[in-house]
């Protein structure tokens, strides 16, 4: 996996007292093309504290292009921001 830090647009379900559940997301590549990906499975969910912010980290598996890949996305709780972290 390689590290990247890209803001993404996510469609997710929020329930009281539980971590948000992402379903699909859109990301822009370095050429400014938009790619939409569906989250196949969530393998692991971790809650971390980074620089004073609470962050949910999701390790997911899904189709990226024509390949089945494992990637990580994060939800920053105080800033309400999603990021694609590793792919």
Q: What is the pLDDT of residue 83?
A: 96
CB-CB contact of 65 with 87 (8 Å): no
Q: What is the pLDDT of residues 40-77, one digit of tens each?
A: 999 999 999 989 999 999 999 998 878 899 999 999 99
Counting beta carbons within 10 angstroms of the beta carbon of residue 27, is it exposed (0 to 12), middle (13 to 18) or buried (19 or more)? buried
The yes-or-no verdict on residue 1 having pLDDT over 90 is no
Residues 6+ apart with CB under 8 A from 47: 19, 54, 55, 56, 57
């Amino acid at each position: 996996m390689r590290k990247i830090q890209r803001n993404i647009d996510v469609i997710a379900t929020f329930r009281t007292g539980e971590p948000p559940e992402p379903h699909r997301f859109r990301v822009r590549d370095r050429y400014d093309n938009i790619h939409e990906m569906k989250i196949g499975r969530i393998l692991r969910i971790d809650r971390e504290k980074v620089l004073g912010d609470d962050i949910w980290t999701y390790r997911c598996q899904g189709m990226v292009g024509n390949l089945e890949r494992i990637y990580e996305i994060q939800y920053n709780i105080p800033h309400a921001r999603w990021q694609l972290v590793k792919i």
